[in-house]
Amino acid sequence: DTGVSQDPRHKITKRGQNVTFRCDPISEHNRLYWYRQTLGQGPEFLTYFQNEAQLEKSRLLSDRFSAERPKGSFSTLEIQRTEQGDSAMYLCASSFGLSGTDTQYFGPGTRLTVL
């Protein structure tokens, strides 16, 4: 078990550019979550996948954000036309379960800086 991994760990981009982050969950975990954490705040939920299906999206996930989880394995989070307000740590978490009792395991995050 290598844990949840995220790539890249850091990304600096200019406003208006598109960026894509990748998350590799723990093998066999059927659930995958994306969160955003800004400085001095706790993580905020963005979206949830059960296997390959995106079942929940937060109102925080504007039209510029899109997430995928093809084949129910790794996931990608893309931000189009980045804005300075998108600067944050993007966290991925995975879990295994069929109810609400499962424990989420977090990755190290991708820190995005938009100049």
Partner 1 sequence: AQTVTQSQPEMSVQEAETVTLSCTYDTSESDYYLFWYKQPPSRQMILVIRQEAYKQQNATENRFSVNFQKAAKSFSLKISDSQLGDAAMYFCAYRSAMRGGADGLTFGKGTHLIIQP
Chain residues in the site for partner 1 (CB under 8 A):
3-4, 31, 33, 35, 40-46, 48, 50, 55-56, 58, 91, 95, 97-109
Q: Which residue, 20 or 108, has its beta carbon nearer to partner 1? A: 108
Tokens at residue 64, please?
Answer: 């510029």
Q: Which residue, 72 or 108, has its beta carbon nearer to partner 1? A: 108
Q: How far is the CB of 63 from partner 1 (least distance, A)?
A: 20
Q: Which residue, 84 or 101, has its beta carbon nearer to partner 1? A: 101
Q: How far is the CB of 45 from partner 1 (least distance, A)?
A: 3
Q: Which residue, 16 or 97, has its beta carbon nearer to partner 1? A: 97
Q: How far is the CB of 33 from partner 1 (least distance, A)?
A: 5
The full DSSP string for the chain is ----EEE-SEEEE-TT--EEEEEEPPTT--EEEEEEE-TTS--EEEEEEETTEEEEE-TTS-TTEEEE-GGGS-EEEEESS--GGG-EEEEEEEE--SSS-PPPEE---EEEEE-
